[in-house]
Amino acid sequence: METIESHYNNWFGVAFFILLYSVVLLFIPIYSKMDKKPKRAYVAFVIAFAVEMHGIPFSMYIITWIIGKNLPEGILWGHTLFSSVGFLGMYINYVCVVIALLLIINGWYNIYKKYWSKERGTGTLVKKGVYKFIRHPQYTGLLLLSFGMLIEWATLPMLFMYPVMVAMYVRLAKREERDMIDEFGEEYKNYIKTTKMFIPYVI
């Protein structure tokens, strides 16, 4: 157990990962007046991930208290897939991070260059770049980042929080789309018919 727990009580690591994963919020369009609750839910998810990865294995303590024995790393705490396939969960997380950052940054760039320019009287509906394939790349990116964390380090708080966070961002996206319909009318309705909300060609 000593070798497994050696990475805990690293509070610099906790702070580093919280800051690292929270930076992406700077690339979420402020113009859309993003609801504070989904943003806070994402930050809470990141904190749960960082604390349980480098701070205190809170889920392990809870599980031990409930069932009266320790579970090996990879079952509701620690590297989720470590006991069976090594660090595959960590590698999956890396892939999710790369894809998520591409979605978030590309989405932000196109929004900044096109839609935000409406303040200068030239704003248009953005349908280029990643918006050609999905309507909410930033939210897809945030949920993909969170999913990667969950795959690498599934814990009880994260398992409970993730579906709640997904529901909150779906609700936020639908509300923002109502605003887009009010602003762009039939053009946005036609855009909805040809472009998926979160996953290209799927949903």
Question: Residue 57 in contact with residue 178, Cβ under 8 Å?
Answer: no
pLDDT of residue 122: 61
State the DSSP string of 173-193.
HHHHHHHHHHHHTHHHHHHHH
pLDDT at 71 (0 to 100)? 77
Identify whether the C-beta of residue 45 lies closer than 8 Å to the C-beta of residue 165.
yes
Question: What domains are defined for the chain?
Answer: 4-194 (1.20.120)
pTM for the model? 0.86
From the first residue on, what is the mean pLDDT of each consecutive set of 10 residues in the chain (203 residues)?
60 92 83 71 93 86 83 78 81 95 92 70 80 94 95 90 95 91 92 94 90
